[in-house]
């Protein structure tokens, strides 16, 4: 009996939490304090119409319900292709014939003084472009022989050639590119998009991530995380081999009817807890349980490419029995076709320092281009022929650029050709979804070191993407820790010349 009495006392004590006390405090102090806490966590106090709509959806128990943008969007969905490690723009898109003249010569001191590099020390040699460039399409876009398939679709692409960033190491640069901050804890671009717009398919996550290349990006899963937004908005990583999502299948011996009864019972308990404490994460939990149940049917269908016509598989260069970047490109088309709002592709292995053959711009970079070029071009053609490219924004790029100098380590020349990280200039391209076609914006100097015309910062790119989706980036905010946060922090401007 004493044990039972002790257990009852423990249970009663556990219920008397700080939140419970504040919630039930008869003086009114509790309600005021609870309101302040919830406001600082982003549950109350939205500052603008876009956030109010998303906030209402969150509180209604349907956080992923489709929401209207602030104004008529040109893009309804995004496929963001990130080449983790950062491909060399000087081998692919930014043609610099003047750099050939300096090949093998010592780097001028004015390019080194006051500069920080990830690895270069001492005086490196200049390195001329290794690709053979030519103009292609009616637009006359310069593309090298590293990307023969992309050469055929340049008239659907806008190249942004004077991108620049604040970070020269992979993890912080990837965080800045995808969350707007080099520090951990901020929501990713895909999370902001699903927070603002919801999803068009109740049976699939609104934000799906597909990774290839054998490793995760250096910044890890934080670059598709939801940060301080409710976790319902984080990216869901799907596998391309085996079960697309681990543990989503029914356990052995449990049929679908029993599973549904279990989900309903769990949701009822969670709803009762929400009514008691009003924690928005409980709504996320309810939504995720119910989504997981629906995903049991929808995800295997969406991820099964064996029903695709052979000519489609051939156009992407896909082996239906093997996971690959090409397979992920085809899956991206299938997912946006089914209403997924944001599809993020990460492909690891684009870091070309010259320390090995795989990391050499004359060997490893060519290999990575061969693995991806056909699939990316096929994706653009496939979206276009299905009428999806007009309102699907495709973005391609890395986290920074590569130097026009050959990398050295402690003054020693490396065994292969490589380039160090470079934050002053790199190239990103976009297609579809309201951007101009067959257009190049921005210029770098004669050797590709500095942007000299129409420079675009990472925050400007983010602001432009949100604009194309129908949002003013300064007004898509979330109240957290006493102030409104946004993707672009306190910077960013829309790059209007890119807009169709």
Containing 441, the helix (H) or strand (E) segment is strand 439-441
Query: What is the rounded CA–CA span in Å between residue 473 and residue 462?
Result: 8
Do residues 386 and 432 lie in contact, with contact meaning Cβ atoms separated by under 8 Å? Answer: no
Return the residue matching tokens 């592709």. 345
Torsion sign, CA atoms 108, 350, 75, 135 = positive
pLDDT tens per residue across span 372-425: 999 999 999 999 999 999 999 999 999 999 999 999 987 788 889 999 999 999
Helix orientation angle between 325-337 and 280-303, rounded to the nearest 10 degrees: 110
User: Can you say whether residue 187 is alpha, beta or left, with left for phi > 0 and alpha for psi between -120 and 50 degrees?
Assistant: beta
What ranges make up the beta strands (E) of 145-198? 157-164
Using CA atoms in the order 41, 43, 48, 53, what is the torsion angle rounded to 10 degrees? 140
Specify which residues 374 forms β-bridges with: none
DSSP 264: H
pLDDT tens readout for residues 208-264: 999 999 999 999 999 999 999 998 899 999 876 666 665 566 667 666 666 667 777
Question: Does the pLDDT at position 5 exceed 60?
Answer: no
User: In the structure encoding, which two tokens stand for residue 13, read together?
Assistant: 């004590």
Q: Which range, of 33-37, 127-131, 187-191, 307-311, averages the lowest pLDDT? A: 33-37
Q: Are strands 451-453 and 236-237 parallel, antiparallel or unpaired?
A: unpaired
The pLDDT score that the predictor gives to residue 52 is 59
CATH annotation of 77-249+286-498: 3.40.720.10
pLDDT tens for each residue of 411-432: 788 889 999 999 999 999 999 9
**Domain segments of the chain as ranges:** 1-43, 77-249+286-498
């Amino acid at each position: 009996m004493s044990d039972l009495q002790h257990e009852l006392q423990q249970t009663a004590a556990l219920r008397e939490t700080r939140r419970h006390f504040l919630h039930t405090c008869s003086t009114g102090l509790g309600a005021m304090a609870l309101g302040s806490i919830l406001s600082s966590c982003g549950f109350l106090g939205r500052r603008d119409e876009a956030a109010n709509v998303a906030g209402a959806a969150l509180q209604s128990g349907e956080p992923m319900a489709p929401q209207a943008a602030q104004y008529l969007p040109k893009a309804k969905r995004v496929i963001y292709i990130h080449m983790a490690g950062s491909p060399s723009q000087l081998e692919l898109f930014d043609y610099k014939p003047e750099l050939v003249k300096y090949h093998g010569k010592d780097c001028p001191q004015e390019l080194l003084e006051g500069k920080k590099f990830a690895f270069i020390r001492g005086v490196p040699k200049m390195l001329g472009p290794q690709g053979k460039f030519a103009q292609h399409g009616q637009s006359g876009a310069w593309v090298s022989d590293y990307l023969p398939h992309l050469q055929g679709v340049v008239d659907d692409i806008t190249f942004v050639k004077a991108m620049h960033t604040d970070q020269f190491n992979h993890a912080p640069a990837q965080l800045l590119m995808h969350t707007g901050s080099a520090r951990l804890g901020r929501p990713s671009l895909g999370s902001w998009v699903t927070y603002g717009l919801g999803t068009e398919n109740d049976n699939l996550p609104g934000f799906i991530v597909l990774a290839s290349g054998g490793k995760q990006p250096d910044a890890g899963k934080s670059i598709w995380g939801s940060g301080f937004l409710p976790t319902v908005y984080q990216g869901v990583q799907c596998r391309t081999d085996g079960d697309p999502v681990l543990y989503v299948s029914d356990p052995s011996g449990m049929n679908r009817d029993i599973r549904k009864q279990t989900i309903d019972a769990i949701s009822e308990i969670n709803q009762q807890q929400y009514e008691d404490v009003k924690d928005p994460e409980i709504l996320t939990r309810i939504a995720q349980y119910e989504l997981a149940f629906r995903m049991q049917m929808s995800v295997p269908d969406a991820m099964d490419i064996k029903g695709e016509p052979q000519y489609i598989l051939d156009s992407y260069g896909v082996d239906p029995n093997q996971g690959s970047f090409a397979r992920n490109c085809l899956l991206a088309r299938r997912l946006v076709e089914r209403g997924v709002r944001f599809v993020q592709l990460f492909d690891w292995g684009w870091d070309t320092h010259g320390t090995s053959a795989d990391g050499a711009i004359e060997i490893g970079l060519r290999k990575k281009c061969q693995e991806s070029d056909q699939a990316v071009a096929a994706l653009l053609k496939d979206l276009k022929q299905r009428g999806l490219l007009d309102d699907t924004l495709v973005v391609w790029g890395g986290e920074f650029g590569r130097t026009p100098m050959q990398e050295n380590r402690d003054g020693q020349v490396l065994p292969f050709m490589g380039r160090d990280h470079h934050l002053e200039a790199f190239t990103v391209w976009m297609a579809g979804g309201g951007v101009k076609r067959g257009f190049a914006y921005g210029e770098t100097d004669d050797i590709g070191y500095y942007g000299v015309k129409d420079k675009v910062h990472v925050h400007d790119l983010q602001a432009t993407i949100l604009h194309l989706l129908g949002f003013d980036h300064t007004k898509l905010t979330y109240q957290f820790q006493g102030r409104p946060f946004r993707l672009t922090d306190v910077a960013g401007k829309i790059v209007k010349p890119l807009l169709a």
